[in-house]
Amino acid sequence: MAFSSIGGSPDRQRVAQERLKIIARHLQRPGDGDSAIVAAECKAQGSKSDASSERRTVPRRRQEIMKWNGWGYSDSRFLFNKKGQAEFTGKRYRLSGMIIPALKDWMESTFGASMQHKTSATPVLNTSAVQPPNLNDAFVEELKSTGIPFSCDAEDRTFRSHGHCLHEIFALREGKFGRVPDMVVWPSCHNDVVKIVELACKHNVCLIPYGGGTSVSSALECPREETRSIISLDTSQMNRILWIDEKNLTAHVEAGIVGQDLERLLNESGYCTGHEPDSMEFSSLGGWVATRASGMKKNIYGNIEDLIIHIKMVTPQGVIEKSCQGPRMSTGPDIYHFIMGSEGTLGVVTEVTMKIRPMPEYQKYGSVVFPNFEQGVACLREVAKQRCAPASIRLMDNEQFKFGHALKPQVSSIFTSFLDGLKKFYITKFKGFDPNRLCVATLLFEGDREKVLQHEKQVYDIAAKFGGLAAGEDNGQRGYMLTFVIAYLRDLGMDYYVIGESFETSVPWDRVLDICRNVKARIVRECKEKGVQFPPLSTCRVTQTYDAGACVYFYFAFNYRGLSNPIHVYEQVEHAAREEILANGGSLSHHHGVGKLRKEWMRETVSSVGMGMLKSVKDYVDPHNIFGNRNLL
């Protein structure tokens, strides 16, 4: 198969195995995959070239492995054990089963949270509180005859009624359900989708595509004003790699595949896409296309728009795709750019051809400590200027550095803790870094071993010019781990009256420092004005570098004890923070998308004419608003 065709040296295989281990560090394979339910005719169509294995992460019934009112796997969560120490349960992650001794203190000192004040979530999903489905009988009848699986079960429907915005999860924890889809369908191939969309048009029902459910833009919320029957079209069972083209280094993949499966399956053939958004455990290829996603290693592999060669999308007007796979075309505006970022308003992306790369031979983490954030940003800017950014380079501010520190698992030996103490002494005392100002950049290098080492030296040399000190692989790796567990941490926070969220923007280089300072300060001021009793956590990091600017990520959380309507306060503050971002020259979104959460700013973002252009596309492609999630416009 794929392996042997590229000369499959044993070395290659070894590399692949190493790579697999690396991925498995933060993404452990699920114990047993769902024995895929694939409609017979689809299988026939794709069976010959199906290069994928049968193990899949996401079952039809998500509830079998995932939380209904929180992030991620049911078996993985933070909790305070009987000794009052923080612990991360499960076996899936590096951090799983470990004690995190500093977390409690950090939570208490940062938020003023207290172990005595706990708010537990509703333990079980009360199906009777979910409104009964509003079904379009004729549609249901015809759907039955196609043999495509569907469900009207309250749990199934509730799972697809939300993304992971704070207000969505908060409501679920309180056992409150808004409008949920009336039915869930699971197409297993492109043709299934064609049939579903045809029926939806025929019977005028509303379709909302559902991929990995990791949206943070209210994109999955059912519009309240929607009176038609709402069908959630769950693409999770369209998850095969249909073929791999090793001559052109492309793979043709069904759009429902989630990131970790795609990567794992390609790895088995010695390839990768290199597209690793923080949500990659659960988010889907179709979702990436629909939101213009960005991966942490985009410096090597590119963002989704750089990775896409071909898209097939089913719309109410029919199927849209290009006729060839030319790497670049001058054929008018790129129609794929209507699809990328359309956020499920035009149709369902069913199949995608994307670039693949041989797996990298060598991977190395790293980190650099800077005396202050300003120096750090200057260094990142220089790295971008010299176009020598590693696969990933991220700069955390001081608060986030401390946060990362609080997540250090218990060290096993006295020696390690002694070393840690020594490091700390060296940086703060010997080098004179102010522990309340220093910040850290985390790095990830990838490629040939020799080149990686050379590259590493180049980056560290630049860092040294800005007062940066190499701070070891460990710190770097922990930084990246943080991105996978942060969402779990939010659930822990909510157990103790702490609510929070992250949001992002992109901004020209000359405004990075200003936007970071101003948005953080705005959050603090707004919290104070809105009556938040405790100082909020307001922190940021620069997560991506470009030639002309950077992507900045903000974390914001506060202790809401004493507030009667915390979510409302939260939303007001987030709104103000977004206004501040826009006023400081930041974009409405770098990769989260607009959804319904940021719709109000679309017109000023793209101008009235721009809105008109987008509207006219929508009007042509979907005149009856079958794809009625009302995102974006």
Partner 1 sequence: MLKKRDDFEDMLEERRNSSDLRYALRCYTPLLYRGVTPCTSSSLKSMVLQSDHIHYVINQVSKEMGRDTDDVQEEASAILEEMAQHLQLSTVRFFAFTLSKIFKTLFKSICVNEEGIQRLQQAIQEHPVVLLPSHRSYMDFLLMSYILYTYDLALPVIAAGMDFMGMKIVGEMLRMSGAFFIRRSFGGDKLYWAVFSEYVKTMLRNGFAPIEFFLEGTRSRTSKSLTPKLGLLNIVLDPFFKGEVFDINVVPVSISYERILEEALYARELLGVPKPKESTSALFKARKVLSEDYGSIHVYFGQPVSVRSLAHGRVNRCQFNLRPRHIPKRPREDIHNFVNDSAYRLVRAQEENMALKPWVLLATLLLQNQAVGQNQVMALDELSEQAVWLRDLSWQYGAFLLWPDNTPPSEVVFSSLSLHHGLVRISEGRVQLALEQERRAGPGEPSCNLTPEEGLLSEAVIILSCASYRNQGLHIFVRPALLASAILTASSNKKQEVFNSFSFLRNMFSNEFILCPGATVQDFEEACYLLVKTGALQVTQQEFLVTERGHRTVAFLASMLDPFLQGYQVVCRFLCEEATETLTEKQFIPAVRKFIIKHLLAGRLRYTEVLSSDLQKNTLAALLRLGAVRKIKGAEQEALKVNKVMVNSLEDTLGGKLPTQETVVARL
Q: Is 232 annotated as a binding residue?
A: no
141 or 510: CB nearest partner 1: 510
Q: Is 490 annotated as a binding residue?
A: yes
338 or 601: CB nearest partner 1: 601
Least distance between partner 1 and beta carbon 461 (Å): 24
Cβ 305 vs Cβ 37: under 8 Å? no
Cβ 400 vs Cβ 555: under 8 Å? yes
Q: How far is CA 597 from CA 214, 218, 590, 614, in A?
A: 14, 6, 14, 18
Q: Is 151 annotated as a binding residue?
A: no
Q: Is 399 annotated as a binding residue?
A: no
Cβ 375 vs Cβ 342: under 8 Å? no
Q: Is 256 annotated as a binding residue?
A: no
Which sequence positions are flagged as catalytic?
553
Cβ 338 vs Cβ 434: under 8 Å? no
Q: How far is CA 433 from CA 133, 290, 398, 467, 517, in A?
A: 60, 44, 12, 10, 20
Q: Are strands 271-272 and 250-254 parallel, antiparallel or unpaired?
A: unpaired
Phi, psi of 254, deg, nearest 5: -75, 145
Q: Is 347 annotated as a binding residue?
A: yes
- State yes or no: residue 378 binds partner 1 (CB under 8 A): no
- State yes or no: residue 306 binds partner 1 (CB under 8 A): no
- State yes or no: residue 102 binds partner 1 (CB under 8 A): no
Residue 565 burial class via C-beta count within 10 angstroms: exposed 0-12, middle 13-18, buried 19 and up = exposed
Write out 468-526 in H/E/C secondary structure.
Answer: CEECCHHHHHHHHHHHHHHHHHHHHHHHCCEEEEEEEEEEEHHHHHHHHHHHHHHHHHH
87, amino acid identity:
E
Least distance between partner 1 and beta carbon 368 (Å): 22
Other CB atoms within a 10 A radius of the CB of residue 130 amount to 16
Site for partner 1 in 491-550 (CB under 8 A): 510-511, 514-515, 517-518, 521-522
- CA dihedral of residues 338, 344, 347, 353 (deg, nearest 10): 70
388, amino acid identity:
C
Least distance between partner 1 and beta carbon 529 (Å): 10
- State yes or no: residue 422 binds partner 1 (CB under 8 A): no
Q: Is 628 annotated as a binding residue?
A: no
Distance CA 503, CA 505 (A): 7
489 or 523: CB nearest partner 1: 523
35 or 607: CB nearest partner 1: 607
137 or 547: CB nearest partner 1: 547
- State yes or no: residue 405 binds partner 1 (CB under 8 A): no
Least distance between partner 1 and beta carbon 178 (Å): 32
Least distance between partner 1 and beta carbon 398 (Å): 14
Angle at 58 between CA 632 and CA 236, to 5 degrees: 45
Q: Is 497 annotated as a binding residue?
A: no
129 or 583: CB nearest partner 1: 583
Using CB under 8 A, count the residues that bind partner 1.
13
428 or 518: CB nearest partner 1: 518
- For 316, the token pair is 């109410």
Least distance between partner 1 and beta carbon 518 (Å): 5
Least distance between partner 1 and beta carbon 9 (Å): 52
- String marking each residue 573-612 x if it binds partner 1 according to CB under 8 A: ---------xxxx------------------x--------
| Binding site residues, partner 1, CB under 8 A | 510-511, 514-515, 517-518, 521-522, 582-585, 604
Annotated binding site: 209-215, 291-294, 343-349, 490
Annotated binding site for FAD: 209-215, 291-294, 343-349
